[in-house]
A and B are shown apart, each in its own frame.
Chain A
Amino acid sequence: DAGVTQSPTHLIKTRGQHVTLRCSPISGHKSVSWYQQVLGQGPQFIFQYYEKEERGRGNFPDRFSARQFPNYSSELNVNALLLGDSALYLCASSLAERLGGYTFGSGTRLTVV
């Protein structure tokens, strides 16, 4: 059974550009969350989606947006990239909205130059 898959694994973007990161949850999982992890720190919550609706939003600027599709996969979009957006972006899926644990993907390493 496939785990949480994220694409791409790495990418390099220039300041001011836009980026789209993709995530496919474990089959049967309806909740997808996004986290940003800066080097040397713990992950910070960005968004949670459940059944295609936004259920939680972290303290990130409006340049960050996300959506969940009918097949429960998700996209994270970041506009007007800044150098400080360079980080590992992690996607996690869970079976239910509130209960149970999370399974994380391998992440997308974004470098903004």
Chain B
Amino acid sequence: KQEVTQIPAALSVPEGENLVLNCSFTDSAIYNLQWFRQDPGKGLTSLLLIQSSQREQTSGRLNASLDKSSGRSTLYIAASQPGDSATYLCAFKAAGNKLTFGGGTRVLVKP
């Protein structure tokens, strides 16, 4: 069974600190891995997409790494802001044409 685990489940940091969110997955034969942000009661906003041949992707203050051999991805958010408060979800795509999601990390950035 394909599984995704996100640790920690919740995280609270003061504004300005760097955030490190972890995602581990059991299927090494992934096509790609995607990080999403979800605000309460809303849909998913795509943050970064990493193809299986890539090691990392960057967008502004966000950087995501991918290590297929160890089944891990890490999302780094530099200099956190209160507006970064949300739930962050990782998901991988493998055979079967579906995204398999983790349970998410709920982030609170305190002013």
Contact = CB atoms under 8 A, between A and B. Distances in A.
Contacts of B32: 99-101
22 contacts: A6-B43, A33-B99, A40-B103, A42-B89, A43-B44, A43-B89, A43-B99, A43-B101, A45-B98, A45-B99, A56-B98, A90-B43, A92-B44, A98-B97, A99-B31, A101-B32, A102-B34, A102-B46, A104-B45, A104-B46, A105-B43, A107-B42
Chain A CB within 10 A, most for which of B41, B43, B91, B93: B43
Majority secondary structure of chain B interface residues (helix, strand, loop or mixed): strand
Contacts of A41: 103
Interface string B36-54: 1000011111100100000
B107 interface: no
**Among all A-B residue pairs, the 5 with the closest Cβ atoms:** A42-B101, A101-B49, A56-B97, A45-B98, A104-B44
Interface residues of B, number: 24
A41 B42 CA distance: 13
A101 B31 contact: no
Interface of B: 4, 31-32, 34, 36, 41-46, 49, 89, 91, 93, 96-104
Contacts of A48: 97-98
Interface residues of A, number: 29
B22 to A, nearest CB: 15
Contact of A104 (B43, B98, B100): B43
Nearest to A40: B103
Nearest to B106: A40
Interface string A77-99: 00000000000101010000111
B4 A106 contact: no
Contacts of A105: 43
Contacts of B44: 43, 90, 92, 104
Interface string A41-54: 11111001010000
